[in-house]
Amino acid sequence: MIPNNNSRKMFLEIVKQLRQLIHDENIAVGGKLPSERELAERLQVGRSTVREALRSLELLGIIETRRGEGTFLSDFRKHQLVELLSTFILQDVKSKKDVHTTMQALEKDAIRTICMTDVLHKQSIWDAFLDKLHEEVLQEDIIREIIIISNNRLALKIWFLLKQFADEPYHSFMNVEEKKAWKLLLTNLKVGNEQQAISYYNEWKLLTNRGEIK
Beta strand residue intervals within the chain, DSSP E: 63-66, 70-73
3-class state of residue 70 by DSSP:
strand
Residue 144 has pLDDT above 70, yes or no: yes
Q: Which tens digits make up the pLDDT trace of 148-201? A: 999 998 888 888 878 877 765 577 899 999 999 999 999 999 999 999 999 999
* Cα separation, 162 vs 155, whole angstroms: 10
Mean pLDDT across the stretch 61-77? Answer: 83
Q: Which tens digits make up the pLDDT trace of 86-143? A: 666 566 666 777 888 889 999 999 999 999 999 998 888 999 999 999 999 988 889 9
Domains of the chain listed by start with CATH number: 10-73 (1.10.10.10), 87-208 (1.20.120)
Q: Phi and psi of 171, rounded to 5°?
A: -85, -5
DSSP category for residue 138: B
Q: Which tens digits make up the pLDDT trace of 8-63? A: 677 788 888 888 888 888 998 889 999 999 999 998 888 888 888 888 888 777 88
Mean of per-residue pLDDT scores for the chain:
83
Kindly report the pTM of this predicted structure.
Answer: 0.64
> Partners of 138 in the beta sheet?
173
